[in-house]
Amino acid sequence: MASSSSSPTPSVIKKYDVFINFRGKDTRYCFASTLHGLLLEKNIIVFFDDELEKGDEISSSLMNAIEESEISVVIFSERYASSRWCLEELVKIIECKQMHQQMVRPIFYHVDPSSVSNQTGTFGEEFAKLVKSFNKEKLEKLQMTEEQFKDKIQTWKNALTTAANLAGYTATNRTATFDIAMRVVQEVLRKLDDLHSDADNKNLVGIQGMLSTKIIL
């Protein structure tokens, strides 16, 4: 379903309909996989990173995949903020929302939106552990100064707060996660239909303009 003509920024070619951002150890074999499968059933092109282990550096190909997606779905779980990868992806996702009007839909999987926004509770504890893990040796390895890391922390916090304040879905112990996944899929389909309809209308206007020009000549 992915299309380049619907992109608000012509230079960005859309290769994927949906990018799923999640912490693998929390949701890979439950909600994330369910959502992924349901999206594929609808012939939606999904970027789903199924690598189990990741290194220190965030690959440029991963960042490009976010930018090349029409929609990003962020699955917040209690230990989401313990992953630097998740946070770096989230920063890029928010950047794409602000620069390219990318749709971002958060899903709060057994975590309260306020805990994500304010980094409190178990979610906040996991975030604090991550920050504490960046000792002097690790910062040197990443070629990052303490001042730069402080800026990085604030960037992560800003992205979490921005994402948590977006309209989304909350899954609790009383919620059927399959139903939520289906609701997300239905919303994605509606959004993609809108994007492709807008693209078709723009193309039609362009064709009509060319025909009008020919008649005048």
The residues facing 20 across adjacent strands are: 48, 73
Q: C-alpha angle 144/26/157, rounded to 5°?
A: 40
Nearest alpha-carbon partner for 74 in 160, 201, 1, 196: 160
State CA 158 to chain mean position distance.
Answer: 15
Nearest alpha-carbon partner for 168 in 118, 87, 113: 113
Give all strands (DSSP E) within the chain, no chain letters. 16-21, 46-48, 69-76, 103-109, 169-171
54/42 Cα distance (integer angstroms): 29
Residue 28, judged by CB atoms within 10 A of its CB (0-12, 13-18, 19+), counts as middle
Are 41 and 163 contacting, i.e. CB atoms less than 8 angstroms apart? no
The catalytic residue among 70, 78, 88, 89 is: 89
Whether 89 sits among the annotated catalytic residues: the reply is yes
Q: What amino acid positions are annotated as catalytic residues?
A: 89
